């Protein structure tokens, strides 16, 4: 979802940051596809204020402003549905 959204926004003229938690390779590949003048990969934990601050600072440093913010972080549980608790489904980040 995040990749498709980023590509569509770039197609419509936006510059984007690509946030990733630990694996830089997919984010770096997307930046390469888009071009570094219009995209920036930022490693940060989107579930923390410090992580959000880091993304905001690097975005402002690179592009000068933020016009649109699309939070699309998510998790994937590796449990059977029978073992999944309701709290697991409402938790935004592990």
Predicted local confidence at residue 72, as pLDDT: 72
Determine whether 53 is exposed, middle or buried from the number of CB atoms within 10 Å of its CB (0-12, 13-18, 19+): exposed
| Confidence (pLDDT) at 81 | 73
Beta strands 39-43; 16-20: pairing state: parallel
For residue 39, the model assigns a pLDDT of 97
**68-93 tens-digit pLDDT:** 988 776 666 677 778 877 777 666 55
Judging by beta carbons within 10 Å of its beta carbon (0-12, 13-18, 19+), is residue 23 exposed, middle or buried? exposed
* pLDDT value for 77: 67
Q: So what's the pLDDT on residue 70?
A: 85
Mean pLDDT, residues 37-58 taken together: 92
């Amino acid at each position: 979802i995040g990749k498709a959204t980023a590509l569509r926004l770039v197609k419509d003229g936006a510059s984007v940051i690509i946030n990733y938690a630990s694996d830089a390779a997919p984010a770096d590949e997307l930046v390469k596809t888009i071009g570094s003048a219009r995209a920036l990969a930022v490693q940060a934990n989107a579930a923390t204020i410090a992580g959000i601050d880091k993304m905001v600072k690097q975005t402002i440093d690179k592009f000068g402003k933020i016009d649109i913010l699309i939070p699309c972080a998510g998790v994937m549980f590796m449990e059977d549905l029978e073992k999944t608790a309701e709290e697991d489904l409402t938790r935004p980040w592990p």
